Amino acid sequence: MTAPAEVLGLAEQRAAARAAKDWSASDALRDQIAGLGWVVTDGPDGYRLAPRPPYDVAPGLADLRVPVGIPAGSCGIALLVDGWPDDVRACVAALLAHAPADAAIWLLDLGDVDGSGGVVHELAAAHPGRIVELHCAQTLDQAGWGKATARLIELEQAPVHVLMDPSSVLTGDAISPLLRALDEPGVVGAGWQGVDVDVADDWRSFIAAPPGEVDALLGYLMAVRTQAAQATPPHPKARFYRNADLEWSLMLRAAGGRLVVPSADLPVRQDRHRGYHDSDPQVRDRESRRTYDRLLQQFRGRDEIIHPRPAP
């Protein structure tokens, strides 16, 4: 659908204002375009115009606001929605069936990839007061995993923030055991799967850990005390999720928190993990390596921050 000439003219004026770094004029022109029923988004190849959807879209993460009337509840459960709308539907359906009834489900649509913004809006309309919809014009690639996750943590209203990937699908109540685990002294995070630093390998790798205290939690499903997460959010340079959950875990441990996996039998299944298998391999490998290199620079050799090992 081609935008009318008036809208195209305003978009060209806005592009010129941005090139001149006249941000106030750029914002005013964006609002004029929105008033005519269109949304303009920016990318590396220029701007894109699309008909305005029936929901508000924030231009960037900093512009996101908490909708009025969201109950705090026992926890907030947050998903970054980066396309794959069928996966989002399946994950949310399982949450509605099995998560605590007072838990708010936060869906952050990033860039309306594959029409996911419309699906998020549809789910929120069908479950008012339970699903919180947020829409951002930036894609996850543009926003970055660390900054997007940190922004949701900033907006959290509940005492516990649960982050999960849409590939993680509850088959029973896996959230309540995580919340109970946070009642243990000093525990700030609890998750479905955990790993330990391979000290014998000079911190070059992590190995799967049994239930109990762990060095790091995997971001497929993990709950963190909101106060601790707000004080120590994920690293803002973590653009891709892989290794970013390990880095964040060690940051939480370095701040004095303990991390645990409460059970080996939490009722969760993992479907195809799109974030890994369907991402650009070059971007995935480059950003994962950058994050792991930063992790080593920050923490390598700091054995005092990992959990005590049993005596040989």
Between 92 and 53, where is the model more confident? 92
pLDDT at 312 over 80: no
Which residues 6+ apart lie within 8 Å of 290 measured at CB? 237, 239
CA distance 168 to 220: 6
Rounded distance, CA 312 to CA 224, Å?
Answer: 31
**Residues in Cβ contact with 301 at an 8 Å cutoff, skipping those fewer than 6 apart:** 203
Which class for 301: exposed (0-12), middle (13-18), buried (19 or more C-beta within 10 A)?
exposed
Share of the chain above pLDDT 90, in %: 86
Closest C-alpha to 240, from 122, 117, 143: 143
How far is it, in rounded angstroms, from Cα 37 to Cα 175?
A: 41
Predicted local confidence at residue 224, as pLDDT: 98
- 86 CB contacts (<8 Å, ≥6 apart)? none
Helices (H), the chain: 5-19, 23-35, 85-98, 116-126, 140-143, 145-155, 175-181, 226-231, 244-254, 274-277, 281-299
Interval 36-80: pLDDT, tens: 988 888 877 888 898 888 898 898 999 999 887 777 799 999 999
Residue 258 has what pLDDT?
98
The arithmetic mean of pLDDT across residues 87-92, rounded, is 98
Indicate whether 1 pLDDT > 90. no
Answer with the residue of higher pLDDT: 176 or 59. 176
Q: Tens digits of per-residue pLDDT, 231-273?
A: 999 999 999 999 999 999 999 999 999 999 999 899 999 999 9
* Cα–Cα–Cα angle for 26, 30, 33, rounded to 5 degrees: 140
- Classify 52 as helix, strand or coil: coil
| pTM reported for the whole predicted model | 0.87
Average pLDDT, the chain: 94
Q: Is the per-residue pLDDT at 142 higher than 80?
A: yes
Predicted confidence at residue 139, as pLDDT, reads 94
Residue 173 · residue 223 · CB < 8 Å? no
Enter the tokens of residue 271.
């479907």
How far CA 131 is from CA of 47, 53, 263, in Å, comes to: 31, 18, 28
8-32: per-residue pLDDT in tens? 999 999 999 999 999 999 989 988 9
- In Å, how far are 150, 201, 208, 220, 245 from 198, measured between CA atoms? 28, 5, 10, 21, 16
pLDDT at 43: 77
**Which residue's entry shows tokens 């996911």?**
116
- pLDDT for 133 equals 96
Can you tell me the distance from the alpha carbon of 164 to that of 91, in angstroms, rounded to the nearest whole number? 10
pLDDT in tens, 121-134: 999 999 998 999 99
- Structure confidence at residue 209 (pLDDT): 97
Please give the pLDDT value at position 294.
98
Query: 3-class secondary structure for 189-228?
Result: EEECCEEEECHHHCCCCEEECCCEEECEECCCEEEEEHHH
pLDDT at 71: 73
